[in-house]
Amino acid sequence: MGKTAIIRARTEPKIKADAERVFRKLGMTSTEAITLFYAQVGLRKGLPFPVEIPNATTRRTFEKTDRGEDLHKYPSLDDFFKKMGA
């Protein structure tokens, strides 16, 4: 069976560019990546990766960070890990 079906989708240019950069590193085209994704959805009868609905705490945290609240900045990754006790 030949490839005759067409998929059209809109996405943000940065998301597209980032994904295509990864595909190039993997030696594949966007068409091959989409075909692979669709094949995996068919084989697994669902998405080929876990998808979870965030709980109330996570949703509140997302909302706060979207508003720029409770964000913490560190001068370096080492400083961050020290603060986290690692």
Domains identified in the chain, total number = 2
Helix 13-26 crosses helix 30-44 at what angle (to 10 degrees)? 90
Write the CATH number for 3.
1.10.1220
User: pTM of the entire structure?
Assistant: 0.60
Are 3 and 37 found together in one domain?
Answer: yes
Domain range for 18 = 1-51
* CB count in 10 Å sphere of residue 20: 14
Tell me if 67 sits within 8 A of 53, measured CB to CB: no
Statement to judge: residues 4 and 34 lie in one domain? yes
Q: CA-based angle 28:34:36, to the nearest 5?
A: 75
All residue ranges of the chain with pLDDT < 50 are none
List pLDDT tens digits, range 55-68: 999 999 999 999 99
